[in-house]
Structure 1
Amino acid sequence: MAVTRSALAVMLGAILVASPLAAQNATGIVTGRVVDSASRQPLSAVSVRVVGTTNGALTRVDGSFTIALVGAGTNQVRASRIGFSAQTRTVNVQAGGTVTVEIAMAPQAAVLSDIVVTGYGTQRRESITGSVTTVNTEEANVGVITNANQLLQGRVAGVQITTNNGEPGGGAQVRVRGGTSIQASNDPLYVVDGVPLQNESTVAGAATPGVNRALNRNPLNSINPNDIESMTVLKDASATAIYGSRGANGVVLIQTKRGSRGSSALDYDTYVAASNPARKLNFLTGDQYRTFVQSQVAAGNLPASQLALNGTANTDWEQALTHTGYASSQNVAFSGGSQQTHYRSSLNYFDQKGVVISNGLKRYQGRLNAQHAALDGRLNLDLNLTASRVNNNYLAMENGGGFTGGVFTNMAIFNPTLPVQVLDSATNTFKYFEMGGGSQSVRNPVALANQITDRAPENRVLGNITGTLLLFTGLTAQTTLGTDYTNSVRQTYVPRVSPLGAEFNGLARQAERSLQNLNFQQLVTATPKIGNRQELEVVGGYEYSQFENSGFEVISQGFITDAFQFNNLGAGTQASSPAPVSYIQQSKLVSFFSRANYGFGDKYFLTGVIRRDGSSRLADGHKWSVFPAVSASWRLSNEEFMRGNQFSTLAVRAGWGRQGNQAVQPYATQLLLKTDAGAKYPFGNGVTTGLSAVQVQNPDLRWETSEQTNVGLDWGLKNDRFTGVIDMYQKTTKDLLLTVPVPQPAVVSQQIQNIGSVRNRGFEASMDARILEQGSRTLSSGLVLSVDRNSVLNLGDAPFIITGGVFGQGQSGRFSQRLIPGQPIGTFWGAKFLRVDTKGQQVFSCVAKSAGCVAGETFAPTGDDEMVIGNANPKFSVGFRSNGSMNKFDASWLWRGEFGRDVFNNTALVYSTKGNAKSSRNFLESALADPIGIAEPAIYSSRWLENGRFVRLQNVTVGYTFALPASLGGGRNTRIYLSGDNLLLFTPYSGYDPEVFVDAGIATRGIDYLTYPRARTITTGAHIQF
Structure 2
Amino acid sequence: MQSIWAQQIIKGTVTDVNKVPLPGASVLIKGTTTGSQTDFDGVFSLQASTNDVLVVSYLGYITQEVTVTSSVNYTVILQEDLNQLDEVVVVGYGTQKKAVLTSSVSSVKGADLAKEPILNATQALQGKAAGVQVIASDAPGQASTIIIRGLGTVGGSSDPLYVVDGILTGNINNLNTSDIQTMSVLKDAAAKAIYGNRGANGVIIITTKRGKEGKMQISFDAYTGVRDVLSRVKMANASEYVIYSNEGRLRDLRRDDDPNNDNDTGSFFPTNQLYDTNWLDEITRLGRVSNYNLSLSGGSEKIKAFFSAGLNDEEGILKGNDFRRFTLRSNIDYEISEKLSLSQTASIQLANVTPKIYGAFTTAYKQAPIVPVYDEQGRFGSAAAFNNVGNPVKDLFFQNEKQRFFKVQGSLKLDYKIIEPLTFTSQFSIESEYGRFYSFTDILGSFLAGNPANTEADYFRENPDRERTAASVTHTNHYNWFIDNYVTFNKTFQEAHTIKATFGASAQESRGESLTGYRVNVPLDANLNYILNAGDVDDRQAASGSLGVKDRLYSYFARASYDYKNKYLVSGSYRRDGSSKFQEGNRIGDFFAVSVGWVVTEENFMKNSAFDILKLRASYGEVGNQNVPLQQIVQTTGSGGFYAFGPNQALQQGTTIASTISPDLTWETTEEYNIGAEFTLFDYKLSGEVDFYRKETPDAIVPVALPDVFGLGGFDDHIGSVLNKGVEASLNWKDKIGEKFNYSFGVNFAYNENELAEVKSIFFNESIGGGINNGQYTKRVREGYPLGSFYLYDVIGIDDKGEFVYDDVNNNGLIDEDDRKFMGSFLPKYTLGFNFGIEYNNFDFTVDTYTSLGAKVYNGKKAQRFSNENIEQSVFNNRWTSGRPSNTTPIAFNEVPLSSDYYLESADFFRINNITLGYTLPDSISSFFSSVRIYATAKNPIIFKEFSGFTPELPGSPLGNAGIELDAYPTLKSFHIGINTSF
TM class, shorter-chain normalised? 0.7 to 0.9
1:28 and 1:548 map into 2 onto residues whose CA distance is 62
Q: Which residue matches 1:922?
A: 870
> 1:1020 is matched with which residue: 961, 965, 977?
977
CA-to-aligned-CA distance 1:757-810 (integer Å, 9 cap, x gap): 1111010000110032644421011110000111212233245523332313xx
Written as runs of structure 1 = structure 2, the 5 A alignment for 1:681-720 is: 698-720=662-684
Tell me if the contact between 1:83 and 1:112 (Cα under 8 Å) persists in the aligned partners.
no
Structure 2 residue matching 1:480: 3-state secondary structure: strand
2:207 and 2:946 map into 1 onto residues whose CA distance is 40
Question: Aligned AA for 2:818?
Answer: D
Q: Which residue matches 1:216?
A: none
Further displaced range: 769-778 or 879-888: 769-778
Report whether the alignment pairs 1:456 with 2:403.
Answer: yes
Report whether the alignment pairs 1:274 with 2:226.
Answer: yes
Question: Aligned AA for 1:32?
Answer: G
TM superposition shift of 1:580: 3.4
TM superposition shift of 1:275: 1.0
Q: Which residue matches 1:239?
A: 191
Q: Which residue matches 2:26?
A: 49
Written as runs of structure 1 = structure 2, the 5 A alignment for 1:538-549 is: 538-549=501-512
TM superposition shift of 1:508: 1.7
Would the alpha carbon gap of residues 873 and 72 (structure 1) be closer, same or farther in structure 2, given more than 3 Å must change? same
TM superposition shift of 1:30: 6.5
Q: Which residue matches 1:4?
A: none
2:552 and 2:49 map into 1 onto residues whose CA distance is 52
1:500 and 1:55 map into 2 onto residues whose CA distance is 76
Would the alpha carbon gap of residues 670 and 305 (structure 1) be closer, same or farther in structure 2, given more than 3 Å must change? closer
Would the alpha carbon gap of residues 538 and 190 (structure 1) be closer, same or farther in structure 2, given more than 3 Å must change? same
Q: Which residue matches 1:857?
A: none
Structure 2 residue matching 1:421: 3-state secondary structure: coil
TM superposition shift of 1:700: 1.9
Would the alpha carbon gap of residues 459 and 84 (structure 1) be closer, same or farther in structure 2, given more than 3 Å must change? closer
Written as runs of structure 1 = structure 2, the 5 A alignment for 1:590-739 is: 590-664=554-628, 668=631, 670-671=633-634, 698-739=662-703
> 2:93 is matched with which residue: 103, 106, 120?
120
Report whether the alignment pairs 1:573 with 2:536.
Answer: yes
> 2:446 is matched with which residue: 498, 501, 504?
498
Written as runs of structure 1 = structure 2, the 5 A alignment for 1:268-347 is: 268-293=220-245, 305-307=267-269, 311-347=273-309
Q: Which residue matches 1:391?
A: 352
1:534 and 1:408 map into 2 onto residues whose CA distance is 63
Tell me if the contact between 2:85 and 2:99 (Cα under 8 Å) persists in the aligned partners.
no
Report whether the alignment pairs 1:183 with 2:155.
Answer: yes
> 1:129 is matched with which residue: 86, 97, 102?
102
2:477 and 2:23 map into 1 onto residues whose CA distance is 44
Tell me if the contact between 1:29 and 1:66 (Cα under 8 Å) persists in the aligned partners.
no
Written as runs of structure 1 = structure 2, the 5 A alignment for 1:252-263 is: 252-263=204-215
Give the TM-score, by structure 1 length: 0.84
Question: Aligned AA for 2:307?
Answer: S
Report whether the alignment pairs 1:806 with 2:771.
Answer: yes
Q: Which residue matches 1:1009?
A: 966
Tell me if the contact between 2:85 and 2:97 (Cα under 8 Å) persists in the aligned partners.
no
Question: Aligned AA for 2:768?
Answer: T
Would the alpha carbon gap of residues 99 and 584 (structure 1) be closer, same or farther in structure 2, given more than 3 Å must change? farther
> 1:355 is matched with which residue: 317, 322, 329?
317
Tell me if the contact between 1:947 and 1:989 (Cα under 8 Å) persists in the aligned partners.
yes
Report whether the alignment pairs 1:945 with 2:904.
Answer: yes
2:9 and 2:343 map into 1 onto residues whose CA distance is 26
Structure 2 residue matching 1:711: 3-state secondary structure: strand
The percentage of aligned residue pairs carrying the same residue is 27
Question: Aligned AA for 1:476?
Answer: T
Tell me if the contact between 2:120 and 2:143 (Cα under 8 Å) persists in the aligned partners.
no
Tell me if the contact between 2:11 and 2:46 (Cα under 8 Å) persists in the aligned partners.
no
Would the alpha carbon gap of residues 562 and 838 (structure 1) be closer, same or farther in structure 2, given more than 3 Å must change? farther
Tell me if the contact between 2:728 and 2:751 (Cα under 8 Å) persists in the aligned partners.
yes
Q: Which residue matches 1:382?
A: 343
Would the alpha carbon gap of residues 497 and 266 (structure 1) be closer, same or farther in structure 2, given more than 3 Å must change? same
Q: Which residue matches 1:878?
A: 832
Report whether the alignment pairs 1:486 with 2:458.
Answer: no
Written as runs of structure 1 = structure 2, the 5 A alignment for 1:64-213 is: 65-67=42-44, 78-80=55-57, 85-89=62-66, 100-103=73-76, 105=78, 113-163=86-136, 165-197=137-169, 199=170
Structure 2 residue matching 1:446: 3-state secondary structure: helix
TM superposition shift of 1:652: 0.2
CA-to-aligned-CA distance 1:615-647 (integer Å, 9 cap, x gap): 111111111111111101100111111112110
Would the alpha carbon gap of residues 169 and 840 (structure 1) be closer, same or farther in structure 2, given more than 3 Å must change? same
Structure 1 residue matching 2:239: 3-state secondary structure: helix
Structure 2 residue matching 1:442: 3-state secondary structure: coil
Report whether the alignment pairs 1:984 with 2:942.
Answer: yes
Structure 2 residue matching 1:450: 3-state secondary structure: helix
CA-to-aligned-CA distance 1:514-551 (integer Å, 9 cap, x gap): 21110000011112442211100111010001010111
Tell me if the contact between 1:708 and 1:730 (Cα under 8 Å) persists in the aligned partners.
yes
Report whether the alignment pairs 1:905 with 2:859.
Answer: yes
Would the alpha carbon gap of residues 415 and 849 (structure 1) be closer, same or farther in structure 2, given more than 3 Å must change? closer
Tell me if the contact between 2:26 and 2:58 (Cα under 8 Å) persists in the aligned partners.
no
Instruction: Give the root-mean-square deviation of aligned CA atoms.
Output: 3.3
1:795 and 1:227 map into 2 onto residues whose CA distance is 46
CA-to-aligned-CA distance 1:586-614 (integer Å, 9 cap, x gap): 11011101111111011011101111110
2:583 and 2:25 map into 1 onto residues whose CA distance is 55
Structure 1 residue matching 2:563: 3-state secondary structure: strand
Q: Which residue matches 2:260?
A: none
Would the alpha carbon gap of residues 950 and 111 (structure 1) be closer, same or farther in structure 2, given more than 3 Å must change? closer
Would the alpha carbon gap of residues 576 and 74 (structure 1) be closer, same or farther in structure 2, given more than 3 Å must change? farther
Tell me if the contact between 2:14 and 2:25 (Cα under 8 Å) persists in the aligned partners.
no
CA-to-aligned-CA distance 1:252-301 (integer Å, 9 cap, x gap): 01010111112321000111111111121222222322344566678877
Structure 2 residue matching 1:755: 3-state secondary structure: strand
Q: Which residue matches 2:331?
A: 369
Question: Aligned AA for 2:477?
Answer: S
Give the TM-score, by structure 2 length: 0.87
TM superposition shift of 1:29: 7.9
2:217 and 2:715 map into 1 onto residues whose CA distance is 58
Question: Aligned AA for 1:48?
Answer: A
Q: Which residue matches 2:360?
A: 407
Aligned length: 920
Question: Aligned AA for 1:481?
Answer: F
CA-to-aligned-CA distance 1:341-400 (integer Å, 9 cap, x gap): 11110001110111111102100100011101121x21111111110011122113x2xx
Would the alpha carbon gap of residues 31 and 836 (structure 1) be closer, same or farther in structure 2, given more than 3 Å must change? farther
TM superposition shift of 1:316: 0.6
Structure 2 residue matching 1:789: 3-state secondary structure: strand
Q: Which residue matches 1:850?
A: 812
TM superposition shift of 1:173: 2.0
TM superposition shift of 1:847: 3.0
Structure 1 residue matching 2:605: 3-state secondary structure: helix
Question: Aligned AA for 1:320?
Answer: E
Report whether the alignment pairs 1:516 with 2:476.
Answer: no
Further displaced range: 451-460 or 541-550: 451-460
Question: Aligned AA for 2:275?
Answer: A
Would the alpha carbon gap of residues 787 and 649 (structure 1) be closer, same or farther in structure 2, given more than 3 Å must change? same
Question: Aligned AA for 1:56?
Answer: Q
